[in-house]
Every structure is written in C-alpha cells, then in structure tokens.
Structure 1
Amino acid sequence: MKKIYLLFATLLFTAHLYAQNNYEIQVYGAPTMDKGKTMFELHSNYTLNGSTTSSGPELPTNHVIHETIEITHGWTSWFETGFYIFNSIGSDGRTAYVGSHIRPRVAVPESWKWPVGVSLSAEFGFQKSAFDANTSSLELRPIIDKKWNKLYLAINPTLDKSFAGPDQNAGFIFSPNVKGSYDVSKAVALGLEYYGSTGPFFHYDPIQQQQHQIFIATDLDVSPDWEFNAGFGLGLTNSTDKAIVKMIIGRRF
C-alpha cells in the first residue's frame, strides 16, 4: 500500500511539474516591433480534449477557453516590451483572471547584417495556483529565424524557471518551439508548429512525462497593420492535452 501511495505522489508531482500553459501558443519571429508602434493581440485557445480531473490545486483543462490579451510597444528599432493579461473561461470555477506577465525583448539590429534574425526575450510574472501550480516564473526565449524565398523557419530554444511552486528547485526546464511555413500565395502561408517541454535541462524526463504538440497552422498577410494565425494541435504524449484549436488576431497602431 505504501508503494502505491508513493507512486501516486510521484505522478501527482510530475503533473505539477509540467502543467501546460496553453494561453499563448506562438513561435516567435526575430524582429521586434517598429519604433513608436504598438500591437494589440488576442490569443484565443480552446482545449477540445484535455485533462478531466484536477491535479492537486490545478483545475482540469478539458473544454476550457483561454483568452490572452497581449500589448507590445516598440521603443527603438531593436527593443520592445510586451505585457500579457491571461484569462480563462470554463465551467466549474474555471472562469477567472489568471495572471499577468511582462516581456522585454532585444534584437540584433538589421544594420549588423547577420545571416539570420536573432533576438532574446525575458518573460516573467505570476499566475494563480488553480491554473498553474508554479505561481511565479521566468521564461528566457532565444529566437532565431530565416526566410528563403517562400520558405520560413523559426527556432525558439526556450528555458523556463519557477520561483514559487513545485518546480522551484528543478532548475531550468527546456521547452523548445519550432515553426516552418511555406508561402502558398502572397497572402497565405501554411506550415507546422512544434511545442515541447522535455524536463530539466540536460536531465530530460521519460518521453510520456514530457509534453510534445504539433500544430497545423496558417498565417494570413493581408495588411502590414494586421496579424492572423490559426491552427489545430495534437498532443503526442500522456502529459499533453490531446487536441487544441488556436487563433491569434493582432492589430498594429
């Protein structure tokens, strides 16, 4: 009986350790916001098939809508700041303001003429324990991208760190994101996006305890003032929500 209890406690801890944050499902490109410009974005994500039972203090994710407001302002040609307001909509007490993050980001200036785009963001803030057991966190996101004619590739080898919660002593969690797309017309690009979380850096977890998602996605480019991205994602491991739809709409001012 004691062994069963210890096994249950271990699984419960693991569920806390890699609880998903499906609020902002996006692979970043390297360019920052133009100087003096402000972007307002709405990230809308709906979990078609997620967890149906609570994991410790965290509420289940099945049939929940996440609405995130992101406001980004460009201060110079190479520096921007983003601010996030996370919200959840769902039954059984899952409708709430979840938390907020701030994200400064710097980019290598185009005048340096590097062969690839490069930038670095540092996102930090808080979230309620009912939605993420790790209530204070930092994300370091290096961003590398490149466009070859109609083909685009972006890589975000992200590191996550918790300061309050079950992961606070786990070190940095490796959470890579990758995007590849192809311009099928001047206005439409189709591609694949990958989102993962493999566990503490250089001490990765067994595959079914990791998170891996693949999204089929499209980007529309109908105006330099607007941004649109939508996709359908499938979870590939037991620790990942199995089906999610997402949409991002942004407007520059």
Structure 2
Amino acid sequence: MKKSYLLLLGACLFTLKLKAQANYEIQVYGSETMAKGRTMVELHSNYTLSGNKLVMGTELPTNHVVHETIEITHGWTPWFETGFYFFNSIGNDGRTAYVGSHIRPRVAAPDSWHWPLGVSISTEFGYQKSAFDANTCSLEIRPIVDKQWGKWYASFNPTVEKSFAGPDVNQGLIFSPNLKGSYSVSNIVALGLEYYGSTGPFLHYYAYQQQEHQLFAATDLNFSANWEFNAGVGYGFTSSTDKAIVKMIIGRRF
C-alpha cells in the first residue's frame, strides 16, 4: 500500500512538473552579439550537488551529475550571430551520454541606433533525449535587455519556451525569466546575483512548489578581451528545483 502511494505521488509530481530543468547552460545573456568574423568557443560545466534522486517518467535523476556543454558562436555581421550547442551528461547508472544539440540565431539592435539600452533577441531550437528532458523537441525565444551604469550592470531575459514533443506540447508558452545584477569591484572582478525561474504558462502559472526558482551568487572575471569566465553556486527554492548546483563557464574568442 505504501509503495503504491509513493508511485502515485511520483506520477502526480511528474505531471505537475511539466518543465524539466535545463541545467546545461546556466547563463543570463547580455545583449551584445559576437563581432563580425569572430568565433567564440565556450565550455559550460555544471555539477548538481543536491538534486532529484528519482526517475521521473522518462527522465533520469539529476543528483550528483555533471553537465558539460560545448557552445560555438560565430558572428556573421555586427548585429547577427549563430550559436551551436552540444549537450553532454556524465554520471553513473546510465547518465553518461550525449544529450542533444541546439542551434541559436540571434540579432541585436545595432550600435548605430544609439538606443539607451542594449537589446537583442535569441531563438534557440533543437533536440534532446527523453532520458534527460521529457520534452525532446523545443523552441526558446529569449528577448535580452541590459544596461551598464559605471560599475553596475543589469540584464533581464524574459524567456518563453515551447515544446513540440513531450508532456508540455499542449501547454502553450512557458515563461522562464532570467535576471542578473553585478558590480565591478575592480577592473577584473565583478560580483553579482543571477536568478533563473520557470513559472509555467502565461496567465496559468503553476502552484509555487511546481515552479522553478534558483538564485546564484556568481563572479565574472574580465582579465582579457579574448576570454570569458563566469562561475557561481546556486540554490533552489522549490521542490521542483535542484537544491544546489555549482557552475563554471570558460570561453575563448578567436
């Protein structure tokens, strides 16, 4: 009886938790696109210190798993770039695998427009295996607005996501906002907070515990124009969010 109850509870939680966590590229985007003719190669490394320990539907547990994502971005014009992602997972019990790939074109408002804010929009589309995300085919639309005030910086990504295959296929657009604020304590080091959320379909939001809310304490190092470095540790506030994750991004422009 107790076992049947636990199975039923797990099934209910899976139904409520329609959006799988995408802890492969944990980053709040800035509005600037890659310069024309330049290419950046990035490695996104994330480790879930405390996450889900159960198989939920088709999805394997996230606890104590490493995610390694290779991102390659090329600038075609001063305002248009394309990014390519290769998602990988490393873990025991069948969790070491190539997960999937996405393509991400992005356009930005040119500097010649002299807008008071940096503005761009990214669209990301691709496939991922059902063992790592029940929604195997998805589209992300990410508007990006940012601003630098002296040593202060802020960026807001009011992202929406749409599934084309999987449990969210009839859910409409899922709202997944990201927000970053940082302060440059020196010419090299900036310290800040990054927020990542997923609240459910517009105007039909999930109950709070079925939403995802994560807050990261993060640092950016600006020691070279050709390099990018970001690292942080995050905490999840709801039962649908992995509780503790550490992340690191290293990028090199060519």
- Whether TM exceeds 0.5 here: the answer is yes
The equivalent residue for 1:121 is: 122
Residues 68-100 of structure 1, C-alpha deviations (whole Å, 9 max, x = no match): 000000000000000000000000000000000
The equivalent residue for 2:91 is: 90
Paired with 1:116 and 1:14, the residues of 2 have a C-alpha distance of 37
**Structure 1 residue 9, shift from structure 2 partner:** 3.6
Paired with 2:203 and 2:117, the residues of 1 have a C-alpha distance of 26
SS at match of 2:16: helix
Structure 1 residues 55 and 8, CA gap change in structure 2 (3 angstroms): closer
The equivalent residue for 1:146 is: 147
Paired with 2:58 and 2:224, the residues of 1 have a C-alpha distance of 43
RMSD: 1.3
* 1:11 corresponds to 2:21: no
The equivalent residue for 1:59 is: 60
**Structure 1 residue 23, shift from structure 2 partner:** 0.1
Structure 1 residues 8 and 39, CA gap change in structure 2 (3 angstroms): closer
Q: How many pairs are equivalent? A: 251
Aligned amino acid, residue 136 of structure 1: C
The equivalent residue for 1:182 is: 183
**Structure 1 residue 18, shift from structure 2 partner:** 1.9
The equivalent residue for 1:203 is: 204
The equivalent residue for 1:194 is: 195
**Structure 1 residue 234, shift from structure 2 partner:** 0.1
**Structure 1 residue 6, shift from structure 2 partner:** 6.8
Match runs of 1:215-234 below 5 Å: 215-234=216-235
Paired with 1:179 and 1:11, the residues of 2 have a C-alpha distance of 30
Contiguous gaps of at least 5 residues in structure 1: none
Structure 1 residues 52 and 7, CA gap change in structure 2 (3 angstroms): closer
SS at match of 1:105: strand
Q: Is the 8 A contact 2:138 2:165 kept in 1?
A: yes
Paired with 1:140 and 1:134, the residues of 2 have a C-alpha distance of 16
SS at match of 1:208: helix
Paired with 1:86 and 1:8, the residues of 2 have a C-alpha distance of 27
The equivalent residue for 1:21 is: 22
Aligned amino acid, residue 62 of structure 2: T
Paired with 1:248 and 1:21, the residues of 2 have a C-alpha distance of 15
- The TM-score, its normalising length taken from structure 2, stands at 0.96
**Structure 1 residue 201, shift from structure 2 partner:** 1.1
Paired with 2:229 and 2:9, the residues of 1 have a C-alpha distance of 44
* 1:100 corresponds to 2:101: yes
**Structure 1 residue 178, shift from structure 2 partner:** 0.1
Aligned amino acid, residue 12 of structure 2: T
SS at match of 2:15: helix
Paired with 1:7 and 1:95, the residues of 2 have a C-alpha distance of 28
Paired with 1:42 and 1:237, the residues of 2 have a C-alpha distance of 28
Paired with 2:41 and 2:70, the residues of 1 have a C-alpha distance of 7
The equivalent residue for 1:76 is: 77
Paired with 1:18 and 1:105, the residues of 2 have a C-alpha distance of 24
**Structure 1 residue 7, shift from structure 2 partner:** 5.9
**Equivalent pairs: percent with the same residue?**
74
